[in-house]
Structure 1
Amino acid sequence: MCAPDGIVREIGATAAEFERGLRLAVTGAVSCPQPGVLRVDDPGTVLEVELTEQPERRLGQFRIPVLHAHLRFIGGTREARQTLLARIDLAMQRGGG
């Protein structure tokens, strides 16, 4: 979902899983300026991600973690932002079958 002040996503992952995927997407560019906030300093743009863990969902025996992610870009062209988001989305994909 797009919001005037960023992008809001609900993700089926823990904060640690999200951070691991983010670090895979942008090796060496992730910092944690404060608890619950990750910052990506990528060439051409900067992205801040505020993470809030939500109550897990249960489907029978399955338990699915739920994470609310608010992504805010600080500078950067539209193309640089789209490129960064595409890399992040690719790194966050999980196999299925």
Structure 2
Amino acid sequence: MEDLRQVLENVGKSEIEHGRNAERLELSVPAEVTTSRGNVISAMTREISRFGIGLLHRGPIMPSEVTVRMASETREFEYRVAVEWCQPCSNGMFMSGGRFLTQASKS
């Protein structure tokens, strides 16, 4: 997790206007991504909006449906996400982004 945090701190902000429909908020919390094959990948969130989420993680995630789990001090959140892109960044890390399909559960 510390490696993920360090890379996240060093990832520069894009100067490009992406024409997004929803405001993105920076959010840096630990997350867990479970692929359709059942692989579990540790991740850090980068940003979140009403429609989607950006992640930072080791190794690529192929565009597909995944489950993303995040926890606060009092609750756990689980979302179904359609990962739409994934690209390498530094130190063997990857950035990905996807749109929310449904909120699977809150604990």
Higher radius of gyration, 1 or 2: 1
In the superposition, the TM-score normalised over structure 1's length comes to: 0.33
TM-score (norm: length of structure 2): 0.31
Considering fraction of residues, name the structure with more strand: 2
Which structure has more relative contact order (CA 8 Å, sep 6+)? It is 1
